[in-house]
Amino acid sequence: MYRELAPPPDLAASVACVWSSVSRGGVILPDGCVDVVWRGDRLIVAGPATAAVAAGVPLGVPVFGVRFRLGAAGAALGLPAVELADAAVDAEEVFGRGASERVAAGGMPALLELVRARLRPVDPLDRAAALAMARPETRVASLAPELGVSERQLRRRFLDAVGYGPKTLGRILRFQHFLELSGRGSDLARLALDAGYADQAHLTREAKRLSGRTPAELIASGAGAAGERVRSVQAVGAPGAYRPAG
């Protein structure tokens, strides 16, 4: 069973949630976020994806991780998030030798200590840009002057903070919003409009590009939203309270 909990208070500015699950195979859908994941045999940093990625973990293996907030991973980990895009990086390249062994021995508390030791302050401008681009009506040309930077500088900073550009993030967050709404029913035309697509055909094209499945197939599979929730993305923290794993 997949479970999300709020991070410890001292990590909440950069970390959206901590989570645990048992591998069911299948694929992981793009959600705009970066996770540090214990996958049963080693620790990885799962970068922001632009398409579905095979889980690659045997069925039944317990897995857990830390998910960074939109726009926080680059600064928090001390490297440009664009270097992690569509990649699963051995965590020892980020956290140093012995990272996997420490988490294997200590579970979630050990993972949180690794993150805590690595964490760098997140620039409020980068976070503000990511939050603003979570709104479908936001455009870089209008956002840059509001934040006091040029369009070019904003795009560069956005790549370093998020891992890809504003347009790609917008597409992924809109797709996640569809998944969030899909529990309401299977009226695809209505779901498409409510999620911000031009029409059902637009939703179908985007779903296939991002997940390899049609919207109907996604609903039938029970696929749900992930990442930092689109409609509550301005909130710090998440429902629940952290309790050590195991």
pLDDT tens column, 48-77: 999 999 998 999 999 999 999 988 998 889
Q: Is residue 233 pLDDT above 70, yes or no? A: no
Whether 223 is in a domain gets the answer no
The torsion defined by the Cα of 177, 179, 182 and 183, in degrees rounded to 10, comes to -110
Q: What is the predicted pLDDT for the residue at 53?
A: 93
Whether 16 is in a domain gets the answer yes
Whether 178 is in a domain gets the answer no
Q: Which amino acid is at 163?
A: G
Q: Is 243 exposed, middle or buried (0-12, 13-18, 19+ CB in 10 A)?
A: exposed
Whether 144 is in a domain gets the answer no
Q: What is the predicted pLDDT for the residue at 19?
A: 96
Summary mean pLDDT of the chain: 88
Q: What is the predicted pLDDT for the residue at 204?
A: 98
Which one is predicted more confidently, 231 or 8? Answer: 8
pLDDT tens column, 104-114: 999 999 999 99
* Cα distance between residue 49 and residue 31, in whole Å: 7
Whether 145 is in a domain gets the answer no
Percentages of the chain per state (helix, strand, coil), in multiples of 5: 45, 15, 40
Supply the range of the domain harboring residue 58.
3-122
- What's the whole-number mean pLDDT along residues 190-210? 96
DSSP label at residue 9:
G
Number of structural domains found in the chain: 1
Q: Is residue 227 pLDDT above 80, yes or no? A: yes
Whether 72 is in a domain gets the answer yes
Backbone angles phi, psi at 53, to 5 degrees: -125, 135
* Cα distance between residue 235 and residue 10, in whole Å: 15
pLDDT tens column, 145-179: 988 989 999 999 999 999 998 889 989 999 999 99
Nearest-Å Rg of the Cα atoms of the chain is 18
Whether 221 is in a domain gets the answer no
Q: What is the predicted pLDDT for the residue at 109?
A: 97
Whether 82 is in a domain gets the answer yes
The model's pTM is 0.86
Whether residue 182 contacts residue 222, with contact meaning beta carbons closer than 8 Å, is answered with no
